[in-house]
């Protein structure tokens, strides 16, 4: 008894809380905030005591976490923090790692499904590979198992994705090297069919060209409408029209023409007008670029649908990446 009381007191002192709070954490009763619980559990770990074993019930959520090889410190950090967040939310994490030449991601997935997990998190998995078979992910969706992907958004997979923003990091690194006097800078990104590598390569290639002319920004408010979308009149013949989804603030330029339908320059809202606005598909490289760059998939689809309506009404549409610009509304 004395030893238990002393242990409780040691843990409480180390965590900066009362012994009653430590008791509530051990017994899983009463109200304890997430931050306080973490302090107590950290004190338990640092002092070498055994953590209280949580009582698992049928209602306890089990989350399967799929991580690439844990020898990579980045993925080990993902595993640590995801497990911590699942535990803080009252769940149990089942972590599976993919070791090259050993058990594959989809073999692990079959095992987790057999364990009847409550949800799945995939970190830089096969979903990030443009050459991969996505059928196992579709099977998860059909089974109504919630899933989330990290680093590698694929519109074909009906699941939310969270990806790192590479632009600021690459820009900071290049700026630092440039300030040190370096002018020949190499970027190692990885295999070209992996979405994170493609995203880094696109940022590396495009940003110096896009911003080298130091544009002067002028904020405007889209206070009018053009065919039901927010717009801003630039002059007597040109307007900006909101085309959301590609990047924040993306707009089309509409040009009014005498005795002809208006001309819409859709910017990057579509990559290949001839195919995308007439029921076809853009080349794989352009589709991959769109997935990497867009910021809001739903808004992007709504913008495309609006452009299709314009084409059906005979309005001419061109876009920024047409190798040979053509008037898409002309039949």
Question: pLDDT of 20-57, one tens digit each?
Answer: 888 877 776 667 787 888 888 888 888 877 766 655 56
Q: What is the mean pLDDT of residues 86-111?
A: 84
Quick one: residue 249, left, alpha or beta (phi over 0 = left, psi -120 to 50 = alpha)? left
Q: How far apart are CA 320 and CA 53, in angstroms?
A: 59
Q: What residue numbers bound the domain in which 238 lies?
A: 224-318
Q: What is the mean pLDDT of residues 8-14?
A: 84
144 shares a domain with 66: yes
115 shares a domain with 207: no
180 shares a domain with 108: no
Is 216 a member of any domain?
A: no
Is 85 a member of any domain?
A: yes
End-to-end CA distance of the chain: 89
141 shares a domain with 176: no
pLDDT band of residue 4 (cuts 50, 70, 90) is very low
Q: What is the largest distance, in Å, between two alpha-carbon atoms of the chain?
A: 95
Residue-level pLDDT at 190: 67
- Of 8-17, 146-155, 279-288, the one with minimum mean pLDDT is 279-288
Above 80 in pLDDT, residue 61? yes
158 shares a domain with 70: yes
CATH number of the structural domain spanning residue 16: 1.10.260.40
Beta bridge partners of 150: 123, 162
Q: How far apart are CA 59 and CA 72, in angstroms?
A: 34
Is 217 a member of any domain?
A: no
DSSP states along 233-301: E-SSSEEEEE-TTSSTT-EEEEE--TTS--EEE-TTS-S-HHHHTTT----HHHHHHHHHH-S-HHHHH
pLDDT 10s digits, 179-222: 898 888 777 766 767 777 666 665 555 555 444 555 555 677 88
182 shares a domain with 90: no
Quick one: residue 63, left, alpha or beta (phi over 0 = left, psi -120 to 50 = alpha)? beta
297 shares a domain with 263: yes
Q: What is the mean pLDDT of residues 80-97?
A: 86
273 shares a domain with 308: yes
Is 323 a member of any domain?
A: no
Is 324 a member of any domain?
A: no
Residue-level pLDDT at 118: 92
**How many domains is the chain partitioned into structurally?**
4
Is 56 a member of any domain?
A: no
Above 50 in pLDDT, residue 258? yes
Q: Which of 189, 151, 155 is nearest to 170 (CA)?
A: 189
Mean residue pLDDT of the chain comes to 79
Residue 84 has a CB neighbour count (10 Å cut-off) of 13
Residue-level pLDDT at 284: 59
73 shares a domain with 129: yes
The residue among 211, 233, 268 that closes a domain is 211
Q: How far apart are CA 62 and CA 65, in angstroms?
A: 10
CB 159 within 8 A of CB 148: yes
The residue among 142, 162, 182 that closes a domain is 162
User: In terms of pLDDT, which residue wins out, 176 or 89?
Assistant: 176
CA distances from 151 to 172, 192, 288, 326 (A): 20, 15, 14, 35
242 shares a domain with 202: no
130 shares a domain with 109: yes
DSSP three-state, residue 62: strand
Is 53 a member of any domain?
A: no
314 shares a domain with 239: yes
CATH number of the structural domain spanning residue 267: 3.60.15.10
User: In terms of pLDDT, which residue wins out, 196 or 267?
Assistant: 267
Residue 157 has φ and ψ, to the nearest 5°, of -100, 120
User: In terms of pLDDT, which residue wins out, 293 or 268?
Assistant: 268
pLDDT band of residue 137 (cuts 50, 70, 90) is very high
**Model confidence, pTM:** 0.51
- Of 186-190, 224-228, 321-325, the one with minimum mean pLDDT is 321-325
Q: How far apart are CA 45 and CA 292, in angstroms?
A: 41
Above 90 in pLDDT, residue 161? no
Residue 67 has φ and ψ, to the nearest 5°, of -125, 140
């Amino acid at each position: 008894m004395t030893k238990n009381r002393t242990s409780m007191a040691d843990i409480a002192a180390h965590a900066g809380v009362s012994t009653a709070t430590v008791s509530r954490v051990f017994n899983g009763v009463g109200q304890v905030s997430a931050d306080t619980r973490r302090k107590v559990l950290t004190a338990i770990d640092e002092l070498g005591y055994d953590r209280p074993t949580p009582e698992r019930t049928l209602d306890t959520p089990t989350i399967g976490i799929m991580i690439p090889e844990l020898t990579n410190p980045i993925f080990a950090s993902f595993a640590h923090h995801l497990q911590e967040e699942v535990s803080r939310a009252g769940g149990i994490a089942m972590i599976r790692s993919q070791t090259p030449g050993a058990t594959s991601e989809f073999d692990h997935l079959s095992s987790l499904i057999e364990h009847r997990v409550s949800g799945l998190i995939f970190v830089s998995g096969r979903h990030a590979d443009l050459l991969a078979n996505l059928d196992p992910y579709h099977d998860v969706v059909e089974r109504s198992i919630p899933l989330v992907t990290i680093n590698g958004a694929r519109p074909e997979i009906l699941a939310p994705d969270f990806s790192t923003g590479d632009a600021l990091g690459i820009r900071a690194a290049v700026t630092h090297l440039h300030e040190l006097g370096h002018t020949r800078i190499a970027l190692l990104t990885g295999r070209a069919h992996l979405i994170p590598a493609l995203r880094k390569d696109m940022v590396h290639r495009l940003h110096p060209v896009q911003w080298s002319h130091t544009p002067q920004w002028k904020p405007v408010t889209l206070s009018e409408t053009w065919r039901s979308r927010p717009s801003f009149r630039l002059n007597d013949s040109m307007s900006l029209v909101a085309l959301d989804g590609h990047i924040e603030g993306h707009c089309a330029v509409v040009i009014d023409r005498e005795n002809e339908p208006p001309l819409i320059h859709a910017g990057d809202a579509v990559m290949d007008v001839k195919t995308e606005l007439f029921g076809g598909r853009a080349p794989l490289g352009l589709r991959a670029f769109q997935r990497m760059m867009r910021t809001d998939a739903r808004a992007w689809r709504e913008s495309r649908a609006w452009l299709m309506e314009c084409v059906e009404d005979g309005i001419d549409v061109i876009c920024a990446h047409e190798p040979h610009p053509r008037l898409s509304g002309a039949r």
